[in-house]
């Protein structure tokens, strides 16, 4: 099994991934499952971005479309209106890498001009025009697996072999990107925990995480506050911090290099400890 890449090219910058890093979640939506409505105004979003930067985030992931289970779609122009002013303000004030969480080709293009460094697409560039827009933007790209759409993805998702199917999907989307002229060094992948998966599927993916990425590509994971924590602990949404941090730790020990999180400070501490353990394991090996 190949070792994940230690770098990810993100526009004109390079993200070092010898150790895992934290991607802070900044949802500028009214209806996201965890923080919907809190950061709709650009000023409030910038304050939260500054807080996450102080807490140790390496990347800020700005999203204007809720992709929680059951969420409806969004008008593309409304998504642009929500996201672009926030990216512009963060780019002008903070040195962190900025990720745009979108499947919208026009937003990909305009976010790149506004100062974004990474495209994080839950639909893995399958929306018509997205692959071409991402290739032209020359940003880093995170390709995520999702079965179905947010509105229906949790309606009895089934797989013959969840690990094999998702590994195949991520490999196929990576090859499609390379064929479109996107350098492999710009690509990372995300198995999409909770996006069309049951608790059993999610646990199996976590157990087999090192097998999911195409050779040499870094793994990104998003486990923060998700229903998997509730399924394992019985905790309601506002009490999922400890479970989220535990899953983040396990993911890094299993090879994840980008950890997407709402609770940045606690996750940074957990990732720091997991990084120490993975480094010692490589040295001892």
> SS3 breakdown of the chain: % helix, strand, coil, rounded to 5?
45, 15, 40
Select which of 82, 167, 225, 260 is catalytic.
260
Q: How far apart are CA 47 and CA 180, in angstroms?
A: 38
Q: Which two tokens stand for residue 256?
A: 């994840």
- Determine the Cα angle at 248 with ends 42 and 93, to 5°: 25
Query: Phi, psi (5° rounding) for residue 99?
Result: -105, 140
Q: Which two tokens stand for residue 91?
A: 């780019």
Phi-psi region of 196 (alpha: psi -120 to 50; beta: other; left: phi over 0): left
Select which of 123, 173, 226, 240 is catalytic.
226
Q: How far apart are CA 226 and CA 206, in angstroms?
A: 14
238 - beta bridge partners?
none
The answer to whether residue 260 is catalytic is yes
The answer to whether residue 238 is catalytic is no
- Determine the Cα angle at 4 with ends 56 and 172, to 5°: 115
Residue whose pair of structure tokens reads 């807490």 in the numeric block: 55
> Which residues are part of the catalytic machinery?
226, 260
């Amino acid at each position: 099994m190949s070792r994940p890449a230690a770098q990810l090219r993100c526009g004109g910058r390079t993200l070092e991934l010898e150790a895992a890093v934290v991607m802070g979640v900044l949802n500028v939506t009214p209806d996201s499952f965890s923080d919907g409505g809190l950061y709709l105004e650009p000023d409030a979003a910038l304050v939260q971005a500054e807080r996450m930067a102080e807490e140790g985030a390496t990347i800020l992931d700005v999203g204007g479309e809720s992709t929680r289970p059951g969420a409806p779609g969004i008008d593309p122009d409304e998504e642009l209106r929500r996201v672009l002013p926030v990216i512009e303000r963060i780019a002008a004030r903070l040195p962190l890498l900025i990720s745009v969480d979108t499947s919208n080709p026009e937003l990909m293009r305009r976010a790149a001009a506004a100062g974004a460094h990474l495209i994080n697409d839950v639909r893995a560039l399958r929306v018509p025009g997205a692959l071409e827009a991402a290739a032209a933007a020359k940003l880093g790209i995170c390709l995520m697996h999702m079965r179905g759409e947010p509105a229906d993805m949790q309606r009895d998702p089934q797989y013959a072999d969840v690990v094999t199917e998702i590994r195949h999907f991520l490999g196929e989307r990576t090859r499609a990107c390379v064929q479109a002229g996107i350098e492999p060094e710009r690509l990372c992948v995300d198995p999409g925990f909770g996006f069309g998966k049951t608790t059993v599927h999610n646990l199996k993916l976590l157990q087999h995480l090192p097998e999911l990425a195409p050779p040499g590509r870094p793994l990104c994971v998003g486990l923060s506050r998700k229903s998997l924590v509730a399924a394992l602990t019985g905790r309601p949404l506002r009490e999922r911090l400890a479970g989220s941090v535990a899953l983040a730790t396990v993911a890094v020990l299993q090879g994840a290099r980008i950890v997407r999180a709402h609770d940045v400070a606690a996750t940074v501490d957990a990732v720091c400890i997991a990084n120490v353990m993975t480094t010692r394991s490589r040295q001892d090996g």
